[in-house]
Copies of this chain bind each other. A is one copy, B any other.
Amino acid sequence: MTFVPNRSTLSLVNVISAVKRMVVGRRLSNTQMGETLLPKRLALPVFASDALSSVAYAPDEILITLSLAGMAGFLFSWEIGLAVAVVVAVVVASYRQTVHAYPSGGGDYEVARENLGSNAGLTVASALMVDYVLTVAVSVSAGVINAKAMAPFLAGYEAWTAVGVIVFLTLVNLRGTRDSGAAFAIPTYVFMVSMLSMLAIGLFRIFAMGQNLQSETADLIVVRPDGAQEIAGWALVAILARAFSSGCAALTGVEAISNGVPSFKPPKSRNAATVLAMLGALAITMLVGIILLANLTKVHLIDELTGTHYVDQDGNTIHSAATTVTGQLARVVFMDWFEPGFYIMVTATMLILFLAANTAFNGFPSLASILAKDGYLPRQLHTRGDRLAYSNGIVMLSLGAIVLVLAFNASVTALIQLYVVGVFISFTLGQMGMVRHWSTKLGTENDPMERRRIVRSRLINFVGAVLTGVVLVVVLVSKFTHGAYLAVVLMALIFVVMLAISKHYSAVERELALTPDSDRALPSRVRGVILVQRVNLPTSKAIAFARATRPTTLTAVTVAVDDDEVDQVLDEWEAEDFGIPLKVIASPYREITGPFIRYVSQLRTENPRDVVSVYIPEYVVGHWWEQLLHNQTALLIRTRLHFMQSVMVTSVPYQLRSSGRRKDQTKRVSEARVRR
């Protein structure tokens, strides 16, 4: 069966656009774009939820990875937590330079492309695209794990719950940035307040009140899969490196602010830098606080996937993982004292993780739009029109994340092996670009005050570049075989595809450019040909329209597939007296397309300086299934004619009654648009 596109596609387009209007809400015009600018108090939750939320799983992943070293591993959580905190501080300081230098929001992509060349830019773009998808997959999966702390019945349905959440987020995001900002502010703030309160109260109870708070896993002993409780040497170093790499997931999302500068209220760069600093302080406080409290309350986690397990005090082996660090801390801090605190903390953690995924829903389509403008992605992703382009980006992101969640069964520990690589590629190239940027600027700047500022910025970015470069190497080496290779392969694929698209567009542009030598000759005559299958209203309309265009010659052509039908057509043709000749073409193979194409081809050969204009009557029906019953031949002929030079194809549509309702709808919609 041939797929039928024209009218049926439209029905589909109509249905989709009606549904979208309901789900997505009114469109925003260019002049309304200002309305979506975010004040700091909204920008923080929208752009920082990703980075903040990662403290909800980064400590978990540090402890889970350390469990591979047995009980001795947990002793290193402190050092690793601090190391990650240092990286956060340096990266935040570096990005504060970027948002001032590049207020246009291209982020690392723009920085790398302008200062290091298009291939560096494209590398960053590929890395970011993969990481946006992973952000959604990881954050939503982590959110579902937290949800399980309250709703144990989700166990076994994690992946499908995560898919449900992603679908929900997709719908929310198709409504646009602004609405999201407002809706997302409250839970993010609730998370911040409850997290900081939990840490403060916990530390207060331990240090000021001298209480002996012990987590639910404090008495469980962690045993390696091989039964040993400890390991040492290079094996331990490898585990520590991986734990650090996983902990660096806490940094994902920092770059979201540098991409999102244009969405800030003016002064954009200053506000963005302020939000960045707030974010850095918050992330470090929370990360260090959580690890400190987890250490004090002896939180022990195991890695279900690689087979570490608990042994309880009676010597029983337990293979099922405990709840999250945040969940365990909230329980030990709040449960015996202020029970709602536990539920507020866990709910807020779950929600901020879902909101973190939302950061990617903001970042991904923006990036795709910029890449499309630069010719690396299909052009239609650039135009914001009707939010359709952005919607395409959102849907692509959503599908990618759903595939990952299903493939890795919503396991954060499995997904995190793919994560972080992209972020640190982007960090490193971005900071390297900034160093180059400042050096260039230094070449033209003479004001000594300004020069000092530039040198200082360059130093900060240089430290950032070196540190993130080192982390990138650590991440790649420690995680490559554990899954990072998959992320690298995906990035390479995206890189190659985008390069190919870019080359294609350039080649086409060169091929199509008008030069002084281009052929601008007007065809001398127009030879009109009307395809006749039946003598009816559409044919009559096509003839009337074709005659109105007054071609040099006009011939009606019918293909003799069935003798009876041809006789009927000839009789009716004579009865109607259209005033133009009807030519009957033999069709030995009982098909219409081939003989007709050959006729047109011959006409062209006989009149090389003329243009042939083929008029095809088409039935416009209202439903896709009606479309299946009509126009199949017209579609095939039109497609084949497109490959012939000096032939233009004119569709003369005849609207059947069944198309009427839809026509009115279109009218109403366009009127409504004009009125707004």
A interface list, Cβ under 8 A from B = 1-7, 9-10, 13, 27-31, 378-380, 382-386, 388, 392, 395-396, 501, 504-505, 508-509, 511-514, 518, 520-526, 534-538, 540, 544-545, 547-551, 561-562, 572, 576, 587-594, 597-598, 601, 611, 613, 615, 618-620, 626, 628-630, 632-633, 635-636, 638-645, 647-657, 659, 662-663, 666, 670, 673-674
Contact = CB atoms under 8 A, between A and B. Distances in A.
B388 A591 contact: yes
Given A591-B386, A642-B651, A656 B522 contact: no
Contacts of A638: 6, 651
A432 B647 CA distance: 56
A520 B544 CA distance: 7
A5 B3 contact: yes
A5 to B, nearest CB: 3
Given A549-B551, A644-B663, 9 more contacts: A2-B13, A31-B588, A384-B591, A385-B593, A504-B629, A548-B611, A643-B655, A643-B659, A647-B653
A648 B501 CA distance: 33
Given A632-B378, A649-B651, A674-B598, A544 B561 contact: no
A561 B385 contact: yes
B544 A522 contact: yes
A5 B9 contact: yes
Residue among A1, A511, A512, A643 with max Cβ neighbours from chain B (10 Å): A643
Number of copies: 2
Contacts of A636: 13
A57 B587 CA distance: 45
15 contacts: A5-B5, A10-B642, A27-B589, A384-B589, A385-B587, A501-B629, A505-B629, A512-B654, A514-B535, A522-B548, A549-B549, A643-B655, A648-B651, A650-B650, A650-B651
A380 B627 CA distance: 12
A85 B666 CA distance: 65
A642 B544 contact: no
Contacts of A31: 588
Nearest to A664: B643
Contact of A666 (B388, B547, B643, B655): B643
B378 A629 contact: yes
Nearest to A505: B629
Contacts of A666: 640, 643
Contacts of A380: 2, 632-633
A379 B526 CA distance: 32
B594 A385 contact: yes
Given A383-B561, A591-B388, A576 B514 contact: yes
Contacts of A589: 27-30, 384-386, 673
Given A385-B590, A643-B620, A511 B663 contact: no
Contacts of A592: 383, 385
Contacts of A537: 511-514, 518
A501 to B, nearest CB: 6
A643 B662 contact: yes
B29 A549 contact: no
A549 B526 contact: yes
Contacts of A572: 514
Contacts of A650: 613, 648-651
A555 B541 CA distance: 24
B549 A536 contact: no
A573 to B, nearest CB: 11
In order of increasing CB-CB distance, the 5 nearest A-B pairs are A385-B591, A5-B5, A29-B588, A512-B536, A642-B653
B540 A611 contact: no
A402 to B, nearest CB: 16
A644 B670 CA distance: 13
